[in-house]
Amino acid sequence: VGMSSDIRADLLIVVYDEFYEEILPLVEWRHSIGIETKVVKWSKIGTTAEELRMYVNNSYYNWEVPPSFLLIVGDADHVPVNYIYDHPYPFPPSKTGTDHWYVTFDGDDYLPEIHEGRISVDNEVELITVVEKILNYSIAPYMEENWFNNVLLASKEESGRYFIWGSETIYDYLSPLGYNVTRQYSGGSPPGSTQGVIDAINNGVVIANHRDHGGETGWSAPKFTTSNVLNDLDNGAKYPVMFSINCLSGYFDKETSGGGPECLAEVALRVG
């Protein structure tokens, strides 16, 4: 599948077979706005990470219009994640799962040849929810309040670390551009708290950025977890783009690397 040179696709979607019908509304929307999209069932490509990388490599070098974005649809046990790099710290798992390998095949650097993302869902209902959120955000975003100018920066003061320094660098860039930046800094100035993070997201932010330590279920400080996402958020259709720059809050591959709770990134993505 996909070895012909006359294929055109700005967006390549590799979907777990059972989720094929549920991803089609997104495919149709992309086509309607001029983004040539090819959707391929995972079973047509293979069963291993190596086969997926080979398929993407071929599409990049041989298609008439090569993809500029790869979207994988399904959790790690549906479409495999790649394990290649040893973890820098001596606790299991010793390998870190990543999809980055699928889009870095030209040279020996770590810079991707094309963009890549994954909609990590466990079932059709979750995928329907995520697709609806994407379409709502793209076609008819919530515009009754001026929330697109709001940004949340969350971080923690810690000796020897550059968490707040990095956040303040972002603040210094965004503030002169007219963004209303809320800073929630645990142990720092201005001070931060879990409730402050919740309130900022509920009021509406276009970006929520965290820089500190983290775990599978969320941010270390200010503490913000999957429980807060499920029980305390009431932001409606004011969907933020969330950057969790920490350890493990994007640990989506628990199904294939030892188990654990659903990570913050998955819970936030899937919640309706």
Nearest to 52 by CA among 8, 14, 78, 6: 14
pLDDT at 189: 82
Mean pLDDT calculated for residue range 138-157: 95
Quickly state the pLDDT bin for 141 (edges 50, 70, 90).
Answer: very high
Distance between CA atoms of residues 176 and 82, nearest Å: 41
Mean pLDDT calculated for residue range 56-73: 97
Mean pLDDT calculated for residue range 48-70: 97
Q: Is the pLDDT of residue 2 over 60?
A: no
Please report, as a single letter, which amino acid is at residue 148: F
Domains, the chain, ordered by start = 11-139 (3.40.50.10390), 150-270 (3.40.50.1460)
Quickly state the pLDDT bin for 66 (edges 50, 70, 90).
Answer: very high
Distance of CA 167 to the CA centre of its chain: 20
Nearest to 76 by CA among 271, 263, 268: 263
Average pLDDT, the chain: 94
Quickly state the pLDDT bin for 190 (edges 50, 70, 90).
Answer: confident
Distance between CA atoms of residues 114 and 204, nearest Å: 31
What are the tens digits of pLDDT across the range 82-130?
A: 987 666 665 555 678 899 999 999 888 889 999 999 999 999 999 999 9
pLDDT at 215: 94
List of residues 6+ apart from 152 with CB closer than 8 A? 181, 182, 184, 197, 200, 201, 205, 207, 208, 209, 240
